Structure 1
Amino acid sequence: MTQAMTHAVPQAGPAAVAPIEPMLFRQLLGCFPTGVAVITTRDAVGRPVGLTCNSFSSVSLEPPLVLFSLRKASSLVGAFREGEGFAINILSQRQDALSGRFASSRIADKFEGVAWRPGPLGMPVIDDCLASFECSVHACHDAGDHHIFIGEVKHMGGGSADHALVFYKGAYMMLAESLRTLVVQGRLGSADLDEAYRTLYGTLLRLACDRATDAELDAVEKAVDDIERHQGTDTLAQRIESASRFFCAIADAGHNEALMLMAQTMTSILRERMTHVIPVLPRPDLFPLRRRVVHCLRRRDADGAVAALDELITKLRKDAPVASPAAAA
């Protein structure tokens, strides 16, 4: 009787895996459009508190479970962990100002001037939202730098018949689509855009000189390294991505959520201009200026960093060797 022969299949060794770059990870996650919600609860003394969130998701129909995630560094972690429940308020397009208000770290009382009412569980339910879900806390899980809160829906309701507020690639979708149309049609002038870049990123550089951590400055420098390393062989799309990372790293280092949102919008404009309006050839002549920005940030020299950025923007517009989209790609 013969026995079946078995052969061991050689196992491939573990492939070298590049570490996940946080900034690129965030940008790629932004490719998935999400709705926007304000998550609310009450603090230890019963005051309404809340924050803007786009990590809301359904979990189960039976029982009806939903979840959202919250940064461990958030000042509201204690309120949500110690509270008996929370409400999820789904925002409409008309409520983009509410999204900005509840996302701001500068506004102490987020509910001042906001129309809301206590739900059956006592949680703050914001008026005129597309939908609201009042939940008891079902579970809370630790997950990296976030907590995941799972809620069991106890009460729910619908309100406005408006369209949903959608967040996509760092901007509200309705805004991003409008900006893309304006850029492609040439209705946003170069002079106005240059002034906006100088004003916004000049402010962010000054804030970064005061607030940035060494790790955040390392991220700015790494973005410059990537631009220089791959500039000669990259496609147009890759060059756009590299340029975007440089400006996104500066925005992150500024530690201002409202300005970061504006910077994300400006990055969307940059992408559209480089794709549809002024695709350019590699610019090794700009390498020293980006290096000077990094050098000044390291020295906490705000005036020097702003001056280097100003010169960078000037040279980008003045001396840009423009190529056709086909040639640039």
Structure 2
Amino acid sequence: MSRPASCAQTIDPKLFRQLLGCFPTGVAIITARAADGKPVGLTCNSFSSVSLEPPLVLFSLRKASSLLGVFGEASTFAINILSQDQDALSSRFASSKIADKFEGVSWRFGPLGAPLIDDCLVSFECSFHARHEAGDHDIFIVEVKDMNTSSAGNALVFYKGAYMMLAESLRKLVLEGQLDTPDIDEAYRVLYGTLLRLACDRASEEEIDAIEASVNEIELHQAVDALPMRIEATASFFSSISVAGHNEALRLMAQTMTKVLRERMTHVIPMRPRPDTFPLRRQIVHRLRARDAEGAERSLHEMIDLLRKGEEDGTTPDAAAA
């Protein structure tokens, strides 16, 4: 049976990576021994099971990885599944700036000679089974020969560019009222003010179009029963600004602030439409198109001030980011 002709869109790599982040994954450190006997390892969330009989699992490495050659020559590997209190290890083994990843880390050689990291949820020691090229990655299929568990904690989970542990902690802080409105306002002023300045220099017209589209959505969903759609449109407004700023570190911080925004708008602040903020969002878009960094940041501050003034006057606000 012949397949229909493809009419699929061109896939943007950055957006593809971002959307893949919508699928929560565990975090593992894959380790092996180099030819000189030294342990090597890297953080990986592409680990997956393949078969029960025989017990096969897989992980993938970028072709650009400096360790691809070492892993290609290794005959045994260890897959160390991290617990939620091992996020520092995840960051350490993901960093290209740390030469000796194992310095200061508690570990041992397993029965097959692969490095096992202490206190992980689970460690699988494996032998080589197969290797396949797949785009810009190589897929390693390995057979589990030994396994052990040494922790009764919860798994470290990666979701939308952040550790789930962090996201859940933020949710708890918001719901318990431990994040004060002035602190949140200041965070939005500093973070999104910086992103707007960057966007004035770096954003494409298409990215500014996306910000304007979210403004249109906010104005469209003003009915009392449209709260969920208004929340999504507001989150999209700030997410689009973070994308337009073209700074990966600040974008990840913005994802954290979006988590705070969603929880506050959903559970904490009784929301009502605020059409008085519409012109200020429009000004932000206009000043972005004009590449007026100071004007765009000033409009953001004015919007936050207006929302707070409404609160002081007894008008229920959307939120600092509504």
- For the aligned pair, the TM-score class normalised by the smaller chain equals 0.7 to 0.9
State how 1:1-329 maps to structure 2 within 5 Å. Answer: 17-20=8-11, 22=13, 25-43=16-34, 45-200=36-191, 220-221=207-208, 223-228=210-215, 230-233=217-220, 235-250=229-244, 253-256=246-249, 261-277=252-268, 279=271, 281=274, 283-290=278-285, 292-293=287-288, 305=293, 307=294, 310-320=297-307
Task: Please identify, of 86-95 and 185-194, the stretch whose mean Cα deviation from structure 2 is larger.
Answer: 185-194
* Length-normalised TM-score, structure 2: 0.75
Deviations 1:21-51 (A, max 9, x none): 5555445433433222112224454433322
Deviations 1:278-328 (A, max 9, x none): 5565735323424545765xxxxxxx74x4564354233222477788xxx
How big is the shift at 1:146? 3.0
**Native 8 Å contact 1:41 1:86 kept in 2:** yes
Tell me how many residue pairs correspond in the alignment.
300
SS in 2 for 1:162: coil
Compared with structure 1, are the counterparts of its residues 111 and 17 closer, same or farther at alpha carbon in structure 2 (3 Å cutoff)? same
Task: Please identify, of 219-228 and 146-155, the stretch whose mean Cα deviation from structure 2 is larger.
Answer: 219-228
**Native 8 Å contact 2:235 2:258 kept in 1:** no
For 2:103 and 2:210, the matched residues in 1 are separated by: 40
For 2:63 and 2:182, the matched residues in 1 are separated by: 42
SS in 2 for 1:110: coil
Deviations 1:34-93 (A, max 9, x none): 222112224454433322222211110111111123334433333333433321101112
Compared with structure 1, are the counterparts of its residues 241 and 207 closer, same or farther at alpha carbon in structure 2 (3 Å cutoff)? closer
Compared with structure 1, are the counterparts of its residues 238 and 266 closer, same or farther at alpha carbon in structure 2 (3 Å cutoff)? closer
**Native 8 Å contact 1:135 1:155 kept in 2:** yes
For 1:175 and 1:15, the matched residues in 2 are separated by: 40
Question: Match of 2:224?
Answer: none
Identity, % of aligned positions = 58
**Native 8 Å contact 1:182 1:188 kept in 2:** yes
SS in 2 for 1:193: helix
Compared with structure 1, are the counterparts of its residues 44 and 224 closer, same or farther at alpha carbon in structure 2 (3 Å cutoff)? farther
For 1:27 and 1:139, the matched residues in 2 are separated by: 29
Name the Cα RMSD after superposition: 3.8
How big is the shift at 1:128? 0.8
For 2:267 and 2:16, the matched residues in 1 are separated by: 25
**Native 8 Å contact 2:195 2:241 kept in 1:** no
- Give 1:123's aligned amino acid: A
For 1:205 and 1:82, the matched residues in 2 are separated by: 47
SS in 1 for 2:41: strand
Deviations 1:194-243 (A, max 9, x none): 33345555677888999x7xxx8577445325325544435314404422
Structure 2, unpaired ranges of 5+: 222-228
- Give 2:282's aligned amino acid: F
SS in 1 for 2:220: coil
For 2:200 and 2:104, the matched residues in 1 are separated by: 35
SS in 2 for 1:319: helix
Structure 1, unpaired ranges of 5+: 1-12, 297-303
SS in 2 for 1:69: strand
For 1:208 and 1:44, the matched residues in 2 are separated by: 47
How big is the shift at 1:165? 1.7
SS in 2 for 1:94: helix
* Length-normalised TM-score, structure 1: 0.73
**Native 8 Å contact 1:140 1:149 kept in 2:** yes
